[in-house]
Amino acid sequence: MRRLLSIELFKLRFSKSAKVLSIIYFLLFFSTAIFSMIRFKFGDFEFQLAEQGIFNFPYIWHFNTYMVAIIKLFLAVVIVSMVSSEYTNRTLKQNFIDGLSKKEFVLSKFYTLLTFALVSTILVFLVSLVLGLIYSDYNEPSIIFSDLHFLLAYFIKLTAFFSLCMFLAILIRKSAFALGFLFLLLIVESIAIVSLRNEIPWLSHFFPLESMANLIKEPFTRFNVVKSASTAMGTDFSRDVKTYWYEYLIPIGWTFVFVFGSLKVLKSRDL
């Protein structure tokens, strides 16, 4: 495993686009945190997002993992390009000729995306912990470390999404088309969900992108301001935002499908 990871990281070290995109990713990562700390002034009215309770433990785990997951797309581009560039430079073929097996190739990419997901998860944990410690109204350890399952969900979500990107890149070979296909999948899924809403609503749980989205449901209706506003208006906005056990299993299942699918495609294809 260490050998395969070191092979892939060695390749990435020299990839300019990978470096630039990773830097953008981490800049965006921290800027979301900084953004919430800014005080907005509208005349006499001062507003700071951080003081509205979004950084309260344990709510912060939910809010941050949800928000930060949106910018995973930047890392997805890194994953897609690190796979498709192997096709365009024809280094994939040379790797195999040099004695890297097809399984090792897929695993080296998979370990790398696992590393990305893990690093991102650890960063979310650290950033949220710091922000929470600064702004949270509750600082008891039992509250701080509750609801940590959002981090697990975040890790699974990223891993599944990156695996999908790897699979598409291996299948389609061209990075632009692979990313295009990803958006197409998003559109197709949205249409399918809407059109199946009444007939077979449970089916949408099994769609790849939807299953990843179900891992961390929107946090806004849990937000104090929204909650109090909704009670004031007499309507109940609160929805079921709990993640059920099978909602963890489906994206994990997809991850396996994508990894083995990648291997299957590579094995059956003549280069």
State the number of binding residues for another protein (CB under 8 A).
25
Contact positions with another protein (CB under 8 A) in 251-270: 267-268, 270
Q: Which is nearer to another protein, 93 or 197 (CB)?
A: 93
**Is 183 an interacting residue with respect to another protein (CB under 8 A)?**
no
User: What H or E segment, with its residue span, contains residue 63?
Assistant: helix 59-70
Rg of the chain's alpha carbons, rounded to an integer?
Answer: 21
Q: Which is nearer to another protein, 16 or 41 (CB)?
A: 16
In sequence order, what are the residues at sequence separation of 6 or more whose Cβ sits closer than 8 angstroms to the Cβ of residue 106? Answer: 166, 170, 259, 262, 263, 266
Q: Rounded distance, CA 179 to CA 182, Å?
A: 5
Classify residue 56 as left (phi > 0), alpha (psi -120 to 50) or beta. beta
Least distance in angstroms from the C-beta of 102 to another protein? 8
Q: Which is nearer to another protein, 132 or 261 (CB)?
A: 261
Q: Which is nearer to another protein, 100 or 193 (CB)?
A: 100
Q: Are 78 and 18 contacting, i.e. CB atoms less than 8 angstroms apart?
A: yes
Least distance in angstroms from the C-beta of 88 to another protein? 10
Contact positions with another protein (CB under 8 A) in 46-105: 89-91, 93-101, 104
Least distance in angstroms from the C-beta of 169 to another protein? 17
List the structure tokens of 66: 């949800």
Q: Which one among 14, 40, 42, 183 touches another protein, defined by CB under 8 A?
A: 14
- Count of CB atoms within 10 A of residue 221's CB? 15
Q: Rounded distance, CA 77 to CA 79, Å?
A: 5
Q: Which is nearer to another protein, 112 or 121 (CB)?
A: 112
Task: Kindly state the DSSP code that residue 223 receives in the 8-state scheme.
Answer: S
Contact positions with another protein (CB under 8 A) in 103-132: 104
From the list 8-16, 119-127, 208-216, 242-250, the region that binds another protein by CB under 8 A is: 8-16
List the structure tokens of 263: 């291997």
Binding site for another protein (CB under 8 A): 3, 6-7, 10-11, 14-16, 89-91, 93-101, 104, 267-268, 270-271
